[in-house]
Structure 1
Amino acid sequence: MDSVMRIPILRLCLPLWVISVLGCATSIPAPEQNPDLNDAASIVRSAVPETLHIADEPFLPAPDINVAIFDVGPDAGETAAYMAVRKLESRLLPGLLREALVSSAQWGAVRVVPTVSPLAPVNIRATIVASDGRDLILDVRVSDITGAEWLALRLAYRETAPSDNLSDLSRIFHVVSNRMRDYWLSRTEVQRSSVISIADMLYARSLAPDVFSDYVDNTGPMLRLKRMPASNDPMLSRVKRIRNQEYLFCDAVDEQLGMLLERAGPTYYLWRQASIEQANWLDQYESMAASRSAGKGGGEFSRMQASYSAYRSYRIQEQALFELAEALDGESEPVVMTTEDAVITLEGTLDTQYATWRELLREIFLLEQGELQ
């Protein structure tokens, strides 16, 4: 209920000319502006959705990127139905961000993962601050494995006209890809290579801390690469093989979330369309209430009929989304993974599957080293 109450306040903060110019989205793209991420009014800026910068080829070295499933936020709704919808959004929206990053042709592998990890040099986290179907507010943070924060953005999107897909909504993520590109290109070649190498060493250290503890200096505010093992180091070869097994799991999860987008996306954007109609109904209702107070009632009945029709459409789509979201809530397809010695079926939530698989991989690594009895 709190999230529903906050959105009308946000609407009052949006001047009509801003709404008409933006058409669909606004954002605060520059972290140097120091936006107050606790102040919803700070998002009201005249920023037209950016055109996605598409590279002719990746600017090497191109780091892999992990997009973690979004945090549902502190205001996810009071009912089980609203919580289920927010959880559904937390899985759908990362897929749209991933699509923007992949379409930019500037990065290595981009995966949606259950949680951040040292698997990739760059991690993206986001929190859903508010969402009511028409207005969407996200806090997005991007950092690399060294501890450097690339950017912190508050993105705001307003649905202003019905759309037959989620392409308009996905445009809010163009600014994320573009700002990440700006940051990456501002680094020297040595700095870029160092980020990727540190990620390699941190992953190796997570498997064998005694062996790989001396390759990264963590005494300063940010991690620094001290040295690298020989390229033909047999231990490093085993680490790479285990890492590839973890990549395979993440690819399976990424594919599963992509299928979720295909399955739930149509119902989700129909709900967003109906949300516009419902918001218009509320606006018209308030206007009619003001007219009645002023003694103006001409044509009121026909206007109320049209307004109620819009409201009824919203309620139908809302119920359809609630039912789908609750059906999908907590649903994760079992993931079947194959090792040299066994076929393993992982079940439970994505977080549980991921944690279980990582622990199994670590045990396999230790067994190969003769450290596990």
Structure 2
Amino acid sequence: MSRPPLAFLWLTIIVLTSSCAPNTVRVSGGEEIESETVQLQESQLLDVGVLLFEEGEITEQQKQESIHEDIRAAEARYMAYHLKETLQRASGWGAIRVLPTTSHIADVVVRGTIITSNGEQMLLEFHVSDSTGSLWFEKKYTAELVELDYFEIDPGNDVYQHVYNRVANDIYRHRKKLTDRQLIRIRNTSELRYAASISPDPFSDYLVWEQSGQVNVARLPAREDPMLQRVRKIREREFLFVDTINEYYANFHGVMYGPYTNWRKYYLLEVRQKRSIERRATRTKLAAAAITLVGLLRDAPGLVTTGAMLYKDGIDIGKEAQIHDDAIRELGDSLNTEVRPMVLDIQGRTVEITGTIEEQYRKWRALLREIYLNETGLAQDESAPDSI
């Protein structure tokens, strides 16, 4: 099987920009993680929340190449956690957590969408913003692999590690541009937005929403405000719950890493072999048709027979391609069976970590709000949104 030359990989570093659409960054290997070189004060550290990736729409072409919804659902968890791990290598951040849904326990929220993901190509879109409503950036990242890439993976790295590195570096570079005053403003806004999500009255009065979507702090509550102190305790409980969820995601990531890497590798091999076979089958059928036509025009039965045999060979090659297509589907099914949901016991309550973990998380947050209201004696605001 032919393999693209190494120079092709380096040429994919081209960055495409557009004024009316998110930038598309074509990423190649070689980009390393950028790390903070100085010790930061706590007030300079921003907490990061990486949302479970959006699965994106699976096209008919992708379905034909055995990209199933169950695989995408697994990838949404795996990729979010792997980006979290990559960000942690960079340092210069506060806590970095994977979030089942948006929460103001994070100062910076990373939203990723899977557009294309298989063993040959990856196309992800990212939307990164902070608690003040400021958009840090919105970009697409794309990369292509060859067979050799699967034999050069460093332990613990993803075969698309260079994509994760680039995303982490772009987030880090934006943070580096912020002043200490801006960092403190983001942290204060996160805390007050969280407080307002727990108890809109009175904490919403501390915030001002602009038409642009920006959120400004009108004023700060007193440092020892008793209601704010209770909110901070509630927020700490949510930190602990999310940390427990992240232990699950870590385990899920570890279990999935091996079979997922193998699935990608064999996907690449199967798809490329299938395409090669299909091209060969098409060429064989065309040659058969040409030989048969010449035979008929020249009244040469031997050529007609030869053409018919070649056409049959073309059909047989097409059947072989179908065998490889079935093999890809079996690989996808095996991934689904090897990565199973898990059950956690959290403070005496059994929580099944499945696709409905988002619902479990929402119920937990509703419980935290109930605890706060019981402690403060405030009335339940049924119209209060889950997140402000």
Q: Find out whether 1:66 has 2:49 as its counterpart.
A: yes
1:36 counterpart (21, 42, 58): 21
Q: 1:56-98, CA deviations, whole angstroms, 9 ceiling, x for partnerless residues?
A: 3464411001101111112266699811111111111111111
Matched residue, 1:358: 365
Partner-residue secondary structure (3-state), 1:183: helix
Read off the aligned partner of 1:191 and give its amino acid letter: Q
What is the rounded CA distance, in whole Å, between the counterparts of 1:157 and 1:324 in structure 2? 23
Query: CA–CA distance in 2 between the matches of 1:76 and 1:326?
Result: 23
| 1:81–1:326 CA contact under 8 A, matched in 2 | no
Identity of aligned residues (%): 26
Is the aligned partner of 1:319 residue 2:330? yes
C-alpha change, 1:334 and 1:160, in structure 2 (3 Å) is same
1:290, distance to aligned residue in structure 2 (A): 5.3
Matching residue within 36, 41, 46 for 1:55: 36
Once the two structures are superposed, the pairs formed by residues 210-359 of structure 1 within 5 Å of their partners are: 210-221=201-212, 222-289=214-281, 291-292=283-284, 293-294=286-287, 315-316=326-327, 318-325=329-336, 328=339, 331=341, 333-338=342-347, 343-347=348-352, 349-359=356-366
SS of equivalent to 2:147: coil
User: Could you tell me whether the CA contact under 8 Å between 2:122 and 2:142 is conserved in 1?
Assistant: yes
Distance 2:174 2:345 in 1: 38
Cα 1:367–1:26 change in 2 (3 A) is: farther
Q: Which position in structure 2 is the counterpart of 1:371?
A: 378
Post-superposition offset of 1:181: 1.7
Q: Which amino acid aligns with 2:345?
A: V
Q: Where in structure 2 are the equivalents of 1:102-113 lying within 5 Å? A: 102-113=88-99
Aligned equivalents of 2:243, 2:261: Cα separation in 1: 26
On the 8 A contact 2:27/2:162 being kept in 1, the answer is: no
Unpaired segments ≥5 residues, structure 2: 292-305, 381-388
Question: Does structure 2 conserve the Cα–Cα contact (< 8 Å) formed by 1:274 and 1:314?
Answer: no
TM-score by length of 2: 0.77
State the match for 2:299 in structure 1. none
Contact 1:285 1:307 in 2 (8 A): yes
1:337 is displaced (CA, Å) by 3.2
Is 2:165 aligned against 1:174? Answer: yes
Task: Output one character per residue of 1:151-193: Cα deviation in whole Å (capped at 9) or x when no partner.
Answer: 1111112221252655331220112111112211212211111
Contact 2:25/2:140 (8 A) holds in 1: no
- 1:35 to 1:305, Cα distance in 2 relative to 1, 3 A: farther
Task: Measure, in 1, the Cα distance between the counterparts of 2:109 and 2:59.
Answer: 23
Structure 2 CA distance, aligned partners of 1:53 and 1:81?
A: 33
The number of equivalent residue pairs is 343
The 1-side partners of 2:192 and 2:165 are apart by 31
Contact 2:26 2:143 in 1 (8 A): no
1:191 aligns with 2:182: yes
- 2:296 corresponds in structure 1 to none
- Asked which structure has the greater CA Rg, the reply is 2
Offset at 1:358?
A: 0.2
What do you get for the CA RMSD once the two structures are aligned? 3.6
Alignment of 1:83-102 (within 5 A): 83-102=69-88
Q: Distance in 2 between matches of 1:72 and 1:137?
A: 12
Mapped pair 1:150 → 2:133: no
CA distance in 2, matches of 1:44, 1:281: 28
- The aligned counterpart of 1:11 is none
Name the aligned partner's letter for residue 369 of structure 1.
T
Q: CA deviation at 1:254?
A: 1.0
CA distance, structure 2, for counterparts of residue 36 and residue 18 of structure 1: 30
Evaluate the alpha carbon distance shift between residue 121 and residue 27 of structure 1 in structure 2; reply closer, same or farther with a 3 A threshold.
Answer: farther
Change (3 A) 1:207 1:311: same
Q: Secondary structure at the match of 2:122?
A: strand
- 1:291 deviates by 4.4
Q: Deviations over 1:107-159 (max 9, x none)?
A: 11111111112121110111111224321211111011111110111111222
Residue aligned with 1:263, SS: helix
Structure 1, residues 44-67: CA drift from partner, whole Å, max 9, x if none? 857655221022346441100110
- Tell me the distance in 2 between the aligned counterparts of 1:93 and 1:195: 26
Q: Deviations over 1:310-330 (max 9, x none)?
A: 98678546424323325757x
**Structure 1: runs of 5+ lacking an equivalent:** 1-15
The question of 1:134 aligning with 2:143 is answered: no
